[in-house]
C-alpha cells in the first residue's frame, strides 16, 4: 500500500486558512441569526408588555364604571333595575320607553337621552347594560318630574274650582 505523499507546507497552510475563513463566516452568520432572533423576541416582549398595560388600564376603567353604576343603584334605593320604572310592568316596558313625554316636560333634559335602540343591540356588553340602565334612570326621573308637574296642575285646578 502506498503512503500518501505529504502535502507541501504552503498548500496546507493556504487550505487551513481557507477553512478558518469559512468557519469564521459561518460563525458570524450564526451570530447574526441569533442577534436577529433575540431582537424579534425583545420586540415581541415589548408588544406583550404594552398590551398587558392596555388591558390593565381597561380593567381599571371597567372597575371604575362598575363602581359608578353601583353608586347610582345605591342612590336610587333598593328597588334596583327590575323596579326602575316603578309601577310600569316589565311587559309594558317597550311601550313605556316609546311613549312621548308629557307636554310640560318637553324641555326638561333636551338632547340628553340617546335612542334606546342603540343600547338594545348588544345585550351582553356590560357598557351597553350600564348605558341602558342610565337611560332608564333618566326616563324614571323625567316620569317623576312629569308626575310632579301634573300633580301641581291638579292642585292648581282644584284651587280654581273652589274660588267663588
Does residue 120 lie in a domain region? Answer: no
Domain boundary among 59, 77, 95: 77
The answer as to whether 84 is a domain residue is no
In a domain, 2, yes or no: no
Report yes or no: 134 and 100 within 8 Å, Cβ to Cβ: no
Give the CA count within 13 Å in the CB-facing half-sphere of 83.
8
pLDDT given for residue 125 in this prediction: 66
Could you list the residue range(s) of the whole structural domain that residue 52 is in?
8-77
> Residue 50 — φ and ψ, nearest 5°?
-65, -40
Q: Is residue 32 part of a domain?
A: yes
| Enclosing H/E stretch for 72 | helix 9-76
| Domains identified in the chain, total number | 2
CA distance 52 to 46: 10
Share of the chain above pLDDT 90, in %: 38
The DSSP call for residue 103 is G
Across residues 134-159, what is the average pLDDT?
90
Q: Does some domain include residue 92?
A: no
pTM of the prediction?
0.37
Please identify which residue in the block is written with the cell numbers 311613549. Answer: 99
Residue 93 is assigned to a structural domain of this protein: no
Give the whole-angstrom CA distance, residue 34 versus residue 38. 6
Asked if 83 contacts 140 with a C-beta cutoff of 8 angstroms, the reply is: no
Residue 82 lies in a domain: no
Per-residue pLDDT tens over the stretch 19-31: 999 999 999 999 9
Q: Which of 42, 58, 77 is the last residue of a domain?
A: 77
- In this structure, the answer to whether residues 131 and 72 fall within a common structural domain is no
- pLDDT tens for 39-49 read 999 999 999 99
Residue with cell 333618566: 138
Amino acid at each position: 500500500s502506498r503512503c500518501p505523499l505529504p502535502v507541501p507546507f504552503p498548500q496546507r497552510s493556504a487550505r487551513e486558512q481557507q477553512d478558518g475563513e469559512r468557519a469564521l463566516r459561518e460563525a458570524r452568520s450564526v451570530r447574526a441569526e441569533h442577534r436577529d432572533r433575540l431582537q424579534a423576541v425583545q420586540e415581541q416582549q415589548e408588544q406583550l408588555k404594552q398590551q398587558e398595560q392596555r388591558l390593565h388600564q381597561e380593567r381599571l376603567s371597567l372597575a371604575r364604571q362598575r363602581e359608578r353604576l353601583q353608586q347610582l343603584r345605591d342612590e336610587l334605593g333598593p328597588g334596583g333595575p327590575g323596579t326602575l320604572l316603578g309601577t310600569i310592568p316589565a311587559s309594558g316596558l317597550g311601550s313605556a320607553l316609546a311613549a312621548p313625554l308629557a307636554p310640560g316636560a318637553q324641555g326638561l333634559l333636551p338632547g340628553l337621552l340617546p335612542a334606546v335602540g342603540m343600547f338594545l343591540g348588544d345585550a351582553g356588553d356590560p357598557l351597553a347594560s350600564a348605558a341602558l340602565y342610565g337611560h332608564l334612570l333618566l326616563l324614571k326621573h323625567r316620569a317623576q318630574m312629569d308626575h310632579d308637574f301634573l300633580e301641581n296642575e291638579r292642585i292648581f285646578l282644584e284651587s280654581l274650582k273652589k274660588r267663588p
